Structure 1
Amino acid sequence: MRIRESRTSSKIRARWRGRTSLLSVVALAATAVAVPQSAQGADPAVVAVTSDGPATYWTGTVRSTGPTRPQVPECRTVHCDRLRLRVDLPAGTWDRPGGLQVAIRWDGATEGGLGLFVYRGDALVATSTAGVGAAQSVIVPSAANGRYDVYVSYGVTFGAVDPDPAIAYEGLAEVEYRPAVEPVREMLPDLRSLPQQNVTYDNPGTIFDDVAQPGQSCFDSERAEQGARQCLRFDQVLENTGTGPVELAFDRQTGSYQDEDVVQRLHRSDGSHTDLPAGQVEFHPVHSHYHFKGFAQSELWLTDGAGNLVGTTPAAVADKVSFCIADTDLVGWGSKGDAALSYPAPACLDPKRVEGGTEYFDMGMSPGWADRYNWYLPDQMIDTHGLADGTYVLFTTVDPDSKLRESREDNNCSSVVVVLSGLATDQPYAELLGTGPACPRF
């Protein structure tokens, strides 16, 4: 997860299954035009959950100038869409520990963000308001039968240049069971890199006062620190398909701003855990938060006319990038086993707790979730200066140094095929053809 301040380039449009933009800090309490309660429209839609089978879905829209709801604290100053959720589960459903999952997701290119609130009567029973991402998800433990009210609130991305006046979203509700305790076992993550959706030489704009000059595809920092001259930019989306989270924990002394050792916390099915050394986190002064070192790396390989890789070494290699790991994209949408949002962004900015002079931090990624870094963020690039026009394969590997313990290590890499042209000119062009071959190291 990274937070952006502003973009000078045009807004990107996407669909739910092709999102291309990572949200920034969301002002969920953004000001809206108040509309009298009497003007709030028709009765809410109603959906029902009557079994532990497939999820129940709905859709909705929230607006910057929609009606407010004075009786709901979270909706007093912003528009909230309302859904009436009826739970009517058979007796014995909760003999197996679990809960009712309620989740929403939306197009991350809207420059807006949504909050999720679940009420039973006058009691708020679950809420999810992560400031960065394109989804929210909660679990209501052992949800009793009866009526629930689900509110989805409008918000505006911090630093938005063109916030959308209306944000459409998808919602779901389904029964989710906890993993069985016996046999007692480690609940391990399984990290995967997803194929790129964007590969481009476009100008990325201005982020955290880091500027890409007009006509340039490289940030000033990339030119100064890496000597980059022609930046092929791309997104990286890293997901966790395992049964447990990838969770990192570290601490620092108050007032200390330096790299720190980090441990991977391995959870077991009985609720216990162990910690293993996992390298370091680095403090980014310009971002004022920590990133886990070397979380992903990309390589560019030339191919011949038959699509075979040329040579035994890549044509270009990107620096290993660091992540402030978080839940941003619910890629396990509607599938059993995806967790509630548990590592909200940007939680890595602040300690989880403070004891004496020690501040304790954590970051991670829940099962069924992904962390998305977009092409317009610093270091999301490979320098292609000096390369010849041609067809290339872009490989991206999560955890390239195998610092993290996973259930599998042979599925961490993905690839896409790209055609690069005009590399000897001041107007290079990249065309994304689709998914590429298996990674050579596997």
Structure 2
Amino acid sequence: MNRPCSPWPTPTSKPRCTAGALHCRATRPPEGSRWHTRCSVGSGHHPACSGSELMRPSRLGLSLTPLLLCYACSGGPQADTTDETGVPPAATLDAVLDIDEAWFWEGETLNGQVPSLSLCDTYLACPSYLLDVAPGGKRLRIGLDTPERTDSFGIHVFAPDGSLAGEDDNFNQFNSEVLIDEPTAGLWRVQIRPDNATYASFRMRAKLESALTVSPALPADPEPLLPNLRTVPPYEFGFVAPANPLNGLYPPDTVNPPLSVAGIEPISCSVDEAAPVEIGGAGAIRCLRFTSGPVNVGQGIYDMRFELLADTLAGETEIAPNELLSRTIIGPKTQVVHWTDGSQTARPAGTYSFHPIHVHFHDDFILKFELYQVTDTELGALVAAGLGTKSGFCPADQLFGNWYAFEQGYETPGGDSPLDNCFSPTAGTIGLSVGWGDVYRWQRPGMYVEFDGNPNGRYVVRSIVDEMGYVLETDDSDNVSYAYIEVQGDTIEILERGWGTDPWDDRKLVFDLTGPVGRSPLDHEAVTFALVDSDRHVRPVNSVD
């Protein structure tokens, strides 16, 4: 099905489209597995052209039937569908975002940088999406997700009267969301500005909420609102060390590329990782590097506190001379538990430490990495093959733990910032808001497992959160994620990744889409996929003729 593409017109431009097409194809996998779809952009594709790679479940579950809705740009003049005021025609009544309804749709692939909203469609096109919003909603949520946090976008949301109602960006984050209270009924416009995008894709979601909170009704007696920690299944594997191991000063990932000299990657471990154990190093030899991190999918904040100066004055800190390159100063850490009546209590929760390479404080022993060799691919027999040394972490609210759930909170504290929290010697906070997670990418010191002495073959890498049980959380049985990989020389292929211990875990949840926690929806997740029609209206799939 081909339809013309037409970006939202600016006051000085008409809808336009250059030559090029979005080609989609579906491939049937082995019996019992999911369908997979692929899309590629043809030559000359305009960033504002609309293309979708959507899958509509025949039933939400393991078997998905793909609905491929592709748009092709003819390159010729397009019909001007606006009236004299430049307002596009209203969406049909079956395409209204109703109260407590949520839509999910695919965005574009953009390349370039538009420094400000005023330069949209001058530097590059900034695609727009039109949402017909029903009356009576308490809050409108517009969210964006991109698989690489090195790509940043601005989200600008315009009310039916044309005024800018809200905006946000995802700088150094995977996700961003604009929240608008008491939205008026009518046609809203969402404009996406490529702030710094390199052939970057994104997806969108929107929900009109009936209430300003997603919390359940308060119980008669106060109850604790606890976090539930999980981990991002390992990904971005490689044997190349970072060019700059001193990358803990809160920079974006782009400042620390792989170490390569004349096309040769000489080492896999950073200096501190390879340093002798006697001086505080890890004695690493061949580092299998990857990306992972914690996610909080519970109802409460992951809220850890520390006070370096107060602890030092009280004589409760210690210097660790045998860990000078990873845990220089160590002190007691406290977990703050939030209750349904608004009160807080504190409890001991292990230790914190100062990491001299990351140059901030860590929540000690929060993550553990393990490597297993697969000796029988049918039965899933595993043999321990290596360990990592990464244990401390300073997370930030940088990714949605569950794209399909509108549960993300914006509490304080929750995550780190360049000047406070993980960097503060007083009133330090290490935490994650409800529904948020983070990753340390492969180039951060300690993000590896030792691979020295292992042959080519298949392996399982596990990422485990709070193995020592210091954190009071709702569920301690779901703290493991895995990646099933094949190693051939310096080439690593991810065969499968997800929540669980390994591919043979009957409770596993496979992450089959791109991004840190990208996956298809589950049976109980009522997901309405949408598309963008030729007039840039967002419409649920079942409303399309």
Q: Which residue of 2 aligns with 1:50?
A: 98
Q: CA deviation at 1:228?
A: 0.9
2:386–2:449 Cα contact (<8 Å) kept: yes
For the residue of structure 2 that corresponds to 1:108, the secondary structure is coil
1:275-331 CA deviation, whole Å, 9 max, x = no partner?
2222233233443322222221111223333544456xx332211422211122224
2:228–2:473 Cα contact (<8 Å) kept: yes
- Rounded to whole Å, the distance in 2 between the matches of 1:44 and 1:373 is 44
- Rounded to whole Å, the distance in 1 between the matches of 2:459 and 2:240 is 18
For the residue of structure 1 that corresponds to 2:272, the secondary structure is helix
Establish whether residue 328 from structure 1 lines up as the match of residue 398 from structure 2. Answer: yes
**Equivalent position to 2:420, from 327, 342, 351:** 351
Matches within 5 A, 1:187-336: 187-208=225-246, 214-224=265-275, 225-253=281-309, 258-305=329-376, 306-309=378-381, 314-336=384-406
Q: What amino acid sits opposite 1:364 in the alignment?
A: G
Pick closer, same or farther for the CA change 1:404–1:119 going to 2, 3 Å.
farther
- Rounded to whole Å, the distance in 1 between the matches of 2:365 and 2:389 is 9
- Rounded to whole Å, the distance in 1 between the matches of 2:352 and 2:167 is 29
Q: Which residue of 1 aligns with 2:483?
A: 416
For the residue of structure 2 that corresponds to 1:174, the secondary structure is strand
Matches within 5 A, 1:65-104: 66=114, 69-70=117-118, 82-83=128-129, 85-90=131-136, 94=138, 99-104=139-144
- Rounded to whole Å, the distance in 2 between the matches of 1:344 and 1:128 is 18
Pick closer, same or farther for the CA change 1:358–1:374 going to 2, 3 Å.
closer
Q: Which residue of 2 aligns with 1:36?
A: none
Normalising by structure 2, report the TM-score: 0.58
The answer to which of 407-416 and 202-211 deviates more is: 202-211
Larger Rg, first or second structure (1 or 2): 2
For the residue of structure 2 that corresponds to 1:221, the secondary structure is helix
Q: Which residue of 2 aligns with 1:178?
A: 214
Q: What amino acid sits opposite 1:185 in the alignment?
A: E
5+ residue gaps, structure 1: 1-16, 18-40, 157-162, 422-426
Pick closer, same or farther for the CA change 1:325–1:310 going to 2, 3 Å.
closer
Q: Which residue of 2 aligns with 1:396?
A: 463
Q: CA deviation at 1:231?
A: 0.9
**Equivalent position to 1:366, from 401, 424, 433:** 433
For the residue of structure 1 that corresponds to 2:143, the secondary structure is strand
1:17-75 CA deviation, whole Å, 9 max, x = no partner?
9xxxxxxxxxxxxxxxxxxxxxxx98689885322123354635666455954499xx9
Pick closer, same or farther for the CA change 1:195–1:438 going to 2, 3 Å.
farther
The answer to which of 294-303 and 406-415 deviates more is: 294-303
Pick closer, same or farther for the CA change 1:279–1:148 going to 2, 3 Å.
farther
Pick closer, same or farther for the CA change 1:342–1:230 going to 2, 3 Å.
same
Q: What amino acid sits opposite 1:221 in the alignment?
A: D
Aligned length: 374
Q: What amino acid sits opposite 2:227 in the alignment?
A: P
Asked which structure has the greater RCO (Cα within 8 Å, sep 6+), the reply is: 1
What CA RMSD, in Å, does the superposition of the two structures yield over aligned residues?
4.1
Q: What amino acid sits opposite 1:411 in the alignment?
A: D
Q: CA deviation at 1:381?
A: 0.8
Matches within 5 A, 1:156-175: 156=196, 164=198, 167-175=200-208
Normalising by structure 1, report the TM-score: 0.69
For the residue of structure 1 that corresponds to 2:463, the secondary structure is strand
1:104-123 CA deviation, whole Å, 9 max, x = no partner?
122316x3312334455697
For the residue of structure 1 that corresponds to 2:473, the secondary structure is coil
Q: Which residue of 2 aligns with 1:339?
A: 409
- Rounded to whole Å, the distance in 2 between the matches of 1:340 and 1:48 is 27
Q: What amino acid sits opposite 2:141 in the alignment?
A: Q
1:391–1:420 Cα contact (<8 Å) kept: yes
Pick closer, same or farther for the CA change 1:70–1:201 going to 2, 3 Å.
closer
- Rounded to whole Å, the distance in 1 between the matches of 2:375 and 2:446 is 28
